[in-house]
Structure 1
Amino acid sequence: MVNGEQILRLLGDLSMDCQRFLKVAAVLGRSFMLEDVSRMLDKSAASLLSSLDEAISSGFVVAAEHQLVFQSDFLLAGVIDSIPAPARGALQREAMGHSRRHAQSLDRQFWVAGHPLWMADHPADPPQEAAGGSGEVYSKSHGLIMDGRVTAGIRTAERVLSSPTSPASARLDAEASVILGYSLLGMEEAEKRSARILREQGAGPGDVAGLMALTALSNARWRAGELGEGLSLGRAAVRYSDGVDPVWRLHFRLALAGKLANLREFDKAESLIDEAEAGLREPGTRVWDAAPAAMRARLFLQAGRVGDARRQAELATTAVDRDAVPLLRPLAYSVLSTILLYKGDLPAATEYLKRVQGESETDQAVLYSPQYGWTEVRIAVKREGPRAAVELFSDKYSHLPTQRSLYIEDPAAAAFLVRLALDVGDTDLRNSVLETIGGLAGDNPGISVLGLSALHANALVSGDPAVLSRIIAQSPDPLSVALATEELAKIYGAKEDPSRAKPGEAASPLNSACWSGLSDTERRIAYLVSAGMTNQQIAKRVHLSAHTVNYHLRKIYRKLNINTRVELARGAASYSSRAAIYSIEPE
């Protein structure tokens, strides 16, 4: 992994003009426009082209559709750290003034190098006190919102803001509650208020309203498919939230954890959830245990840890009194519905789906997720066949195939839908999915899980076994691996010599129970074998020695009662198909 010293060496290898270009660009943010660098350097854009070419060829910067983007937050931070502190502050103030003069977009108005512009000179505000009164650890408006009574919570907070006698801490809490409420309702008012707060008063450590504004903008950018900006804003909210009450830190950490889980950075996401939960368990704070449990359930499901996901989802749905968070209950029900779908228990899966829909149809607000509709589509495919899902797309869920947030939350969805479209001959569905995932991946260079998702979907159309093997070997998403394994097996099966089977007898698949008995590591190795990888290649992929891979392979052969890699590859595909195209971890 590249460290800070290596970044300094990489910078030192560049020309002085290119170093100057990168440093000015860095204070403008993770993404920037060439004309902004041009104005700050007082040079024409044309004269900066050679420096730009050098920045791109060195790997520091990539070209997106309408802007330039630093390859990673780590590189961006390294460039910022290379600027002496006095010069860095001057550049930040100049960038802020420049931004206001030219009324650029929110990220350039309010953002500098992974830090809010206002943080350069904003004094640390003291941590606010709990705004609930009477010993409560949260305000009335905040509690109403978490209970799903969002409109009532907003009205209560607005009354606090309209009262000239409200103390400063209560006003900050009320402003944060209003932003949270409007954000949950999906209303543009959340972004407008957030932009106004950041423009007029900024945000500092302990400023819960400013940090909630950053989180609301982070969520809006994320849903729109602007993942880099969404991550940067979300990370800033977490970074400066140590001085706020645990009930507010919960929102900032869980929001960022959800984004990292979508990118399959599971360890980082779980760590943030642990931190949020630890805050809720501080002396005198114990509330809302269901919130971390619901988010863990979703994370564990994405990671293929089905048993853990089920236990966390059950905790979230059975929580009562101060532990309960009705706002997040549908997310946990959706996890349970999906798990039962994987296990083939369609009646139980449908029952939990009805609970999701029942919660959504009440007068209480719930956290929106495309997973609710997506779960219904997959149940329809399993119960009635692919055409039933296509009918849902023509009516109830016509928006779903082109909804970017679906592919962000579930990178396997693109391949699933393309296979569905191919099976029913729906070219419009196929093309809309390919266009949506292609645009999403193109707008977010460097987000590997999206790039692999787009490759996977296109490989189904072209029938490219090399790309499918790459998905199996490289994808961090267990569901995508299983889908690619099944598709690869179809391709190999079409080439298989039918004379190998006995007359009148089809090849017998491996016993499903035996396959389910493999450990997670053993199953991963089996999938990589099915992609045609050698033991040495597998060893690098799973971070084990070739000797250890061989040891696992012998155990797999014994468990499955087979003798060759060919039999193993065939069994991997057969199991994936019978498990509803998904690899699930035994409980």
Structure 2
Amino acid sequence: MLSEILGADVSHELVEFAAGVGGDSHLLVEFALGLAEEGLVERRNGVVRWTVRRIPRRALTAVSRQLSKLGAACQQFLKVAAVLGRSFMLEDVSRMLDRSSASLLAPLDEALVSGFVVEAEQRLAFRSDVHFRGVFESIPAAARGALLREARRAFAQRTHENNEVRGGTAGGPAELCVVAGEAADGQCSTAHRLIMNGDAVAGVRAAESILADPGISHAVRADAEASVILGCFLLGQEKAVTLSEHILRERGTRPGDVAALMALSTLSNIRWRAGELSEGLSLGRTAVRYGDEVDPVWRLHLKLALAGKYANLREFDQAESLLDAAEAGLRNMASPVWTAAPAAMRARVYLQAKRLGDARQQAEAATVAWEREAVPMLRPLASSVLGTISLYLGDLPVAIEHVERMHADVASCQAVLVSAQYAWTDILVTAKKDGPRAAVELLSGTYGHLPTQRSLYIEDPSAAAFLVRLARDVGDSDLKRGVLDTVDGLAGDNPGFSIIGLTAMHAHALAEGDTTALAHIIVDSPDPVSVALATEELAKLYAAQAPAQWRKTISSPSEDTSSIQKFTCWSRLSEMEQRISYLVSVGLTNRQIARRVHLSAHTVNYHLRKIYRKLGINTRVELARQAATYSSGAAVYSMDGEENAP
């Protein structure tokens, strides 16, 4: 049905997600039409694939229409149930409505007959995530907060009563319990859930309370140990390292042991940030390889961490594959949770790939996510991505707003994902808003650690060159030396990673005005921003040299006139030909260039042949070098922000 409506084959991931309509053919049609209308899919290589992974508004509206046809009592029943989550207990609905379970049998029957709700062992569940979301979003926004608070009280009351029946107490981890919409399949433990919702201290305390009980099962113990590792890592506590090393030393690595796998992933992150890239990558790969048997909520951490490392190396296809797998795992749960986590990381990956439009969509999805889908510890990352994008697009006021939001996100959460991105976004915005001296003041004060922080240059290869240029502009030799020493050490310790070597080369090229090295960056760097900075700098150097070359040639006609000839040839290129030449210089293929300039790939190739003849060259490499030399306006920051670079 999807293929017929969308007019092409559809990807496996899209089919799996569309299956979430629960077999409702009418809803599937609305789902497919919404995908096309709302720009959530695109056709690539003959196959329709995701561009933004979210339920189409059209499908949710269709659910709302179906809901409106039910009786008032049934509508009330379903809306209250939706506040409790994808699956729910009848007794919790009863408590919230202050009615007996027996009195709810009639609206329950109607909900079952209409297909909105199905029986799930001892619980009830919405037929699909689309039905659940459609019902939840039909609740007026002003009422949701009050209903969610009542849902927490209802759940807490039932938990307290169950503890009393079992002879337990209400003072243990149970009282730290619940957020509305928790997963009903038991895959999200209390401690893990608290940490992901921003309360890492309470999460670690809950996990340690569980570990104090010698009678717990191996699975519960492993989950609690993993939660302690995660929480302490986010809080920056050394215990994350000591516990990880202890677990791996005592029992090694084996499939299904979530604590050992989280230990591997945590040590992988720490090694990576210290600049030990081979070891960090190896540990991360091992964690993912052995992680197939653990719950999706834990696989999420393993896959996102490794995806971030691949993205830092500009291996974007591998990063996206891991993100797709992590997201699919969450979506396939009985009650999906934390779906904003892949979106936040995907936004960062797309920003690194200079796919600004896609990055913005994913970051916005992550920042507006609510309740069980939200991941507060990742919101600062999404806000920083939005700030950087706005800066690239030349919208400084909006960039400033996002940076302020980023700071608020960090302040409101006990523990957030550690990233140099937060400070770096602030530096970029400050440099643009208040000038280079203000940025340098931040680098010598609030962010004094940043120039010698290896993780910055791993996350953003262009940062070293930018800081060297900043230091040069304000005459700060200490800043320049600190940056160069740091990237030299990083490159020396990681000879097998070409992107790190190019980062160091670029920084030195800026410091020394090395035109040959800058041309090498333009041709070989996989980082679009580094290419743009090198292109801009090389154009400035040649522009500064040009008058002397002209004067020398005029005063001494016997000298080589090749420079004049090259300048003359470049000036003969049309505006379109110069534009295409620049896009070649930043590494775009003919097909990608065609999308940018609104021509066919065949026409782009025709223009390239004309360019080669005019310049007397034969290869794209030669064209890239000449574009760098003579296109003074070629910078990513000045490009049309609605377009995406690879």
Work out whether the TM-score is over 0.5. Answer: yes
Query: Does residue 553 in structure 1 map to residue 608 in structure 2?
Result: yes
Cα distance change on mapping 1:144 and 1:516 into 2, 3 Å: farther
Distance in 1 between residues matched to 2:284 and 2:636, nearest whole Å: 38
Tell me the distance in 2 between the aligned counterparts of 1:516 and 1:334: 36
| 1:143 alignment partner in structure 2 | 193
Aligned to 2:464: 414
SS class of match (1:368): coil
Label 1:470 to 1:517 Cα distance change in 2 as closer, same or farther (>3 A).
closer
Q: For 1:369, which of 419, 430, 438 is the aligned residue?
A: 419
Taking the aligned partners of 1:586 and 1:134, their CA distance within structure 2 comes to 42
CA, structure 1 residues 578+163, in 2 after alignment: closer, same or farther (shift >3 Å)?
Answer: closer
Q: TM-score, normalised by structure 1?
A: 0.67
Out of 212, 226, 242, the position equivalent to 1:176 is: 226
The aligned runs of 1:491-506 (5 Å cut-off) are 491-497=541-547
C-alpha offsets along residues 550-577 of structure 1, whole Å, 9 cap, x if unaligned? Answer: 43536999xxxxxx97995577431318
Q: What's the CA shift for 1:515? A: 8.3
Query: Are 1:358 and 2:408 matched, yes or no?
Result: yes
Q: What residue number does 2:396 align with?
A: 346
Match of 2:514 among 455, 460, 464: 464
Partner of 1:574: 633
Q: Matches of residues 46-445 of structure 1 in structure 2 within 5 Å?
A: 135-445=185-495
Partners of 1:421 and 1:437 lie apart in 2 by 15
Question: 3-state DSSP class of the match of 1:486?
Answer: helix
| Structure 1 consecutive aligned stretches of length 4 or more whose deviation exceeds 6 Å | 514-519, 546-549, 554-557, 564-567
1:311 is displaced (CA, Å) by 0.4
Cα-Cα RMSD: 3.2
Contact 2:522 2:628 (C-alpha < 8 Å) held by counterparts: no
Q: CA deviation at 1:526?
A: 3.9
Once the two structures are TM-superposed, the CA of residue 346 in structure 1 deviates from its matched residue by: 1.1
Alignment of 1:16-55 (within 5 A): none
For residue 447 of structure 1, report the CA deviation from its aligned partner: 0.6
Summarize the Cα distance change of 1:397–1:133 in structure 2 as closer, same or farther, 3 Å threshold. Answer: closer
In 1, the alpha carbon distance for the partners of 2:417 and 2:455 equals 14
Compute the displacement of 1:261 (Å): 0.4
Distance in 2 (alpha carbons) for counterparts of 1:415 and 1:451:
13
Q: How many residues align?
A: 423
Cα deviation digits, residues 511-567 of structure 1 (max 9, x gap)? xxx889978xx75404479xxxxx9xx9xxxxxxx999743536999xxxxxx9799
SS at structure 1 position matched to 2:635: helix
Q: Flag the 1:332–1:571 CA change in 2: closer, same or farther, 3 A.
A: farther
For residues 335 and 270 of structure 2, the distance between their equivalents in structure 1, rounded to whole angstroms, comes to 29
Q: What CA deviation, in whole Å up to 9, does each residue of 1:226-256 have, x standing for no partner?
A: 0100000000000000110011000000000
- Say if 1:435 and 1:570 are closer, same or farther in 2 by CA, change over 3 A: closer
Shift of 1:446: 0.8
Letter in 2 for 1:358: A
Partner SS state of residue 187, structure 1: coil
Q: Which amino acid aligns with 2:633?
A: S
Q: Determine the structure 2 residue equivalent to 1:586.
A: 643
Contact between 2:464 and 2:503, CA under 8 Å: does it hold in 1? yes
Residues 461, 527 of structure 2: 8 Å contact kept: yes
2:498 match:
448
Match of 2:266, SS state, is helix
Q: Distance in 1 between matches of 2:578 and 2:642?
A: 9
**Aligned CA distance change for structure 1 residues 283 and 358 (closer, same or farther; 3 Å):** closer
Contact 2:528–2:636 under 8 Å retained in 1:
no
Q: Distance in 2 between matches of 1:192 and 1:246?
A: 25
Superposed CA deviations along residues 302-340 of structure 1, whole A, max 9, x for unmatched, are 001000000000110111111111110110000000000
Letter matched to residue 337 of structure 2: V
CA distance in 2, matches of 1:441, 1:459: 15
**1:56-91 CA distance string (max 9 Å, x none):** xxxxxxxxxxxxxxxxxxxxxxxxxxxxxxxxxxxx
**Residues 518 and 556 in structure 1, CA contact (< 8 A), matched pair in contact too:** no
SS at match of 1:357: helix
In the TM superposition, what is the alpha-carbon distance from 1:494 to its structure 2 partner? 1.0
Counterparts of 1:133 and 1:491, CA distance in 2: 59
CA–CA distance in structure 1, aligned partners of residues 306 and 362 of structure 2? 19
What's the offset of the Cα at 1:363? 4.7
Whichever residue aligns with residue 584 of structure 2, its letter is: I
> Given that residues 539 and 630 in structure 2 are in contact (C-alpha distance below 8 angstroms), is that contact kept between their aligned partners in structure 1?
no
SS at 1:196's partner residue?
helix
